[in-house]
Every structure is written in structure tokens, then in C-alpha cells.
Amino acid sequence: MRIKRTFLIISAVILVVACATNPFTGKKTMALVPNSQLFPTSFAQYNQFLSENKVVEGTKDAAMITRVGKRISVAAERWLDANGHQGYLKDYKWEYHLVDDKTVNAWCMPGGKIVFYTGILPIAESETGVAAIMGHEVAHALANHGQQRMSAGMLQQIGAVAGNVAIKDEENRNIFNQAYGVGSTVGVMLPFSRSHESEADQIGLYLMAVAGYNPDEAAELWKRMNANSGGQAPPEFLSTHPSNETRIGNLTKWAPRAKEEARKFGVTSFKE
């Protein structure tokens, strides 16, 4: 019991000390791995990825990815500066690359390293569709979602270790491990991930609108995503992402708010 108590006290102290603030929501978030460690690792992994994959350069599509990325990153800096977060992006090193791959995906690593796969461009359909995707992915990085997921994973492991230390009987320990694995994943980790996706959807709308892109396009993008998937998806409660229907409904609801936010920055017309 003394070991368990000490372990829990240490964990509680870590949680209190290792916190960051989400500039978009004002909420305290977990930061067990500081950005000073996370960013250099991210940059190194990004460079390795580029060296091992076919980067598309010198094409109209590659130029579009860079153009949209720069507009979104400028919009992010404008929003952050206007809302009292000057210097928030000082350690970000923005980079935008298109990679020749049929996978329907795009991502932004901590610190602003972005990749679009060519496979997602037909679904994006236009520069504004790319902006909707870019805004969402950049939002993940700005809100430190990668840092939070790593922290949550570490806490999940701490809980598992604590349970195994506390439970001496092997049979009960096996029961605990099975129940804890399912319960912590379905009851905590998956909802945590879905909340990040919804948060990135909303922040991304604001960023694309401030950058001058029509936020109405985001819902249309996800209608195309839904059609591309053929409706094949796990139940929402077993998924890391909200259902396509949930996302489309939220994006439709949030788009007028994003336009209002953009008007604060003098943006009154939007690129379709």
C-alpha cells in the first residue's frame, strides 16, 4: 500500500506541475512531454519521413499546398496575436509538402510540419477544400493535441502499473488488466480523441475563415469524405473520430460563427 500511495502522489504532482493552456479554449491541458522535447523529435521524424517518401515538387498542386499552408499559418498568428498570445508560435517551424501516395490523408506534426497525400486531393476538389483540411490539421498542432495524447497514454500506463502493483492475486490481476484495458480505452481514450477531433474541426473553421476561405466548404468536404468511405465506419463510441454525420452537423452549425470571427479581422468575402 505504501508503494501504491507513493506512486499515486507522484502521479498527482506530475499532473499539477505538467500543464499547458489551450489558447483557443483557455482550458488547462496535460503536458507531461514539454514542447522543448517534443518539437525537435517531431522535426527529426518529419525529415526522415520526407527522405523515405516521394515528395512532389514543382507542380501546381504542390504550390497550392504551400500557398494554403502559409495563409492558414498567417491566419493562426493573426488570431493568436489578437487574443493575447503573442509569441505563441515562436518555436514553430512551418513546412508544407505534398507526397505522392494514394492514401486519403493529411497531417500536421507538433511544431508545424505538414504533409498532404496526393490521394486526398480529389476529395478536397478545390483550394478551399484543401484549406478546410489544412485548417483542421494545423489546429491539432496549435492546440497541442499530440502532446495531450502522449500525456494521456502515459497516464493510462501509470494506471495499469498502479493496478498491477496493488493487486497481488494473479487471477484478480488478470481480470483487472482486461477490464482496465477495455474500460480505459472505450471510456477515456477514445472519447478524449473524439473531443480533439471536434475541437480541431471548430478551430480549423475559424482559421480557414480568417485566411479568407469559405467555411461552408468544410461540411461539403465531409459529405464527400463520407461518400468516399462508402459509409463503412465503426460505431462512433468505438472510434477515434466522431461519425461523419456528427462532423457534418457540427461544421454546418459552426460555419456562421467562423464567418463572424473572420469579420473581426476585416475578412468579409470568402474564396469559394
Residues taking part in catalysis: 137
Answer for the pair 139, 25: CB distance below 8 angstroms, yes or no: no
Which DSSP helix (H) or strand (E) runs through 127? helix 127-142
8-state DSSP, 213: B
Backbone phi, psi, residue 138, to 5°: -65, -35
- Beta-bridge partners for 116: 98, 106
Answer for the pair 55, 47: CB distance below 8 angstroms, yes or no: no
Whole-number Cα distances in Å, 151 to 19, 28, 86, 178? 10, 13, 25, 22
Residue-level length of the chain: 272
For the chain, what is the radius of gyration of the CA atoms?
A: 20
Residues whose CB is less than 8 angstroms from the CB of residue 24 and which lie 6 or more positions away in sequence, other chains included: 139, 142, 143, 199, 203
Whole-number Cα distances in Å, 130 to 62, 95, 155, 220? 12, 16, 35, 12
Question: What is the three-class DSSP state of 270?
Answer: coil
Amino acid found at 87: G
Answer for the pair 38, 110: CB distance below 8 angstroms, yes or no: yes
Q: Which three cell numbers stand for residue 199?
A: 475541437
